[in-house]
């Protein structure tokens, strides 16, 4: 818990706005994404402090970095993120929405509870993003998590690859090491376990939701299987499977909440409660 005075509050706002402005200038964030980033970032820095915000900044940089890595190759495969990988407001809320609520709750109650939830949700978001982007480069065809014998095209939600698991592990480790160095969770073992539990459970859950409840469909213009609501210049797509409101961002939000809970449970087990 932290005490806020006006100067500190304004300096924090400046830090968040400058970070989001840099992202706009680098074309990795769009206009409404900027507003969502400032809202999420400011909640996190005010609620948790600078260390918490640095974790979010590391997640964002890691995610954008892996999205842009071999972007042209992924684009030729038809699996690259749209708009040059620029994040929009639904992406920001899907990956940072739960984290910002945990940070605001931290204002009213210190201790490990919300720190564990926060680190778990960030590790899950980082793991999912990095494993998806690395998985697109996999030499092995992705397989559905729930039906390992069925290969699926790269980029299919619910598909998993060995390289993707390496990515999930790496991203969780980065978040855990940062959480330890910044003292978001005290010690070394606790933050590492919290991040690995959150990241690995969160990204597996993400693949599970992607393979089961996520909306799948096809484009009525070009006939390709697509997961987005629109295709071919904004034409609506037709749903074939999943729930109509469960698109990729909803799956990511559910994944980050699942990761947060896994992180909290792992810490409670470790502390012997
Ligand atoms: Zn189409």
DSSP state of 141: P
Q: Cα of 131 to ligand 1 centre, how many Å?
A: 26
Domain presence at residue 45: yes
Rounded-to-10 torsion of CA 101, 106, 112, 115: 40
Q: Rounded to the nearest whole angstrom, what is the distance from the C-alpha of residue 151 to the centroid of ligand 1?
A: 22
Looking at residue 184, what is its pLDDT? Answer: 97
* 120 within domain boundaries: yes
pLDDT tens readout for residues 141-156: 899 988 888 898 888 8
C-alpha of residue 231 to centroid of ligand 1, in Å: 5
Q: What is the Å distance from ligand 1's center to 228 Cα?
A: 10
The pTM assigned to this predicted structure is 0.93
Structural domains of the chain, count: 1
pLDDT band of residue 38 (cuts 50, 70, 90) is very high
With CA atoms as reference, report the closest residue to 136 among 159, 114, 117, 102.
Answer: 159
Residue 172 lies in a domain: yes
Whether the CB-CB separation of 142 and 135 falls below 8 Å is answered with: yes
Give, as residue ranges, everything with CB less than 5 Å from ion ligand 1.
219, 221-222, 231-232
CA 240 to ligand 1 center in whole angstroms: 15
d(C-alpha 37, C-alpha 213), whole Å: 27
The confidence band for 84, taking pLDDT boundaries of 50, 70 and 90, is confident
- What phi and psi values does residue 216 have, to the nearest 5 degrees? -120, 150
Q: Is residue 1 part of a domain?
A: no
Is 181 part of any domain? yes
Q: What is the pLDDT of residues 203-255, one digit of tens each?
A: 999 999 999 999 999 999 998 888 888 888 888 899 999 998 899 999 999 99
Give me ligand 1 centre to Cα 36, in Å. Answer: 29
Going edge to edge, which strands form the sheet with 147-151?
147-151, 143-144, 159-160
Which residues form the domain of 121? 6-270
């Amino acid at each position: 818990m932290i005490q806020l005075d006006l100067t500190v509050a304004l300096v924090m706002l400046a830090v968040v706005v400058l970070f989001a402005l840099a992202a706009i200038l680098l074309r990795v964030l769009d206009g409404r994404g900027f507003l969502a980033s400032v809202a999420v970032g400011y909640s996190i820095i005010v609620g948790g402090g600078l260390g918490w915000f640095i974790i979010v900044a590391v997640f964002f940089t890691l995610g954008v970095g892996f999205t842009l890595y071999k972007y042209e190759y992924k684009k030729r495969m038809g699996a690259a993120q749209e708009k040059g990988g620029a994040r929009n407001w639904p992406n920001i809320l899907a990956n940072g929405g739960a984290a910002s609520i945990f940070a605001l709750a931290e204002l009213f109650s210190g201790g490990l509870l919300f720190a564990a939830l926060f680190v778990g949700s960030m590790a899950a978001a980082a793991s999912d993003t990095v494993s998806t982007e690395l998985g697109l480069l996999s030499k092995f065809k992705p397989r559905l998590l729930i039906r390992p014998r069925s290969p699926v095209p790269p980029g299919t939600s619910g598909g998993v690859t060995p390289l993707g698991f390496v990515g999930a592990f790496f991203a969780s480790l980065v978040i855990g090491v940062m959480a330890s160095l910044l003292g978001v969770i005290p010690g070394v073992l606790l933050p590492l376990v919290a991040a690995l539990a959150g990241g690995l459970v969160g990204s597996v859950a993400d693949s599970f939701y992607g393979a089961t409840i996520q909306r799948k469909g096809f484009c009525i213009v070009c006939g390709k299987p697509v997961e987005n609501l629109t295709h071919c210049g904004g034409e609506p797509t037709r749903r074939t499977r999943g729930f109509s409101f469960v698109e990729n961002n909803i799956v990511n939000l559910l994944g980050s909440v699942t990761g947060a809970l896994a992180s909290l449970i792992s810490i409670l087990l470790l502390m012997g409660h």
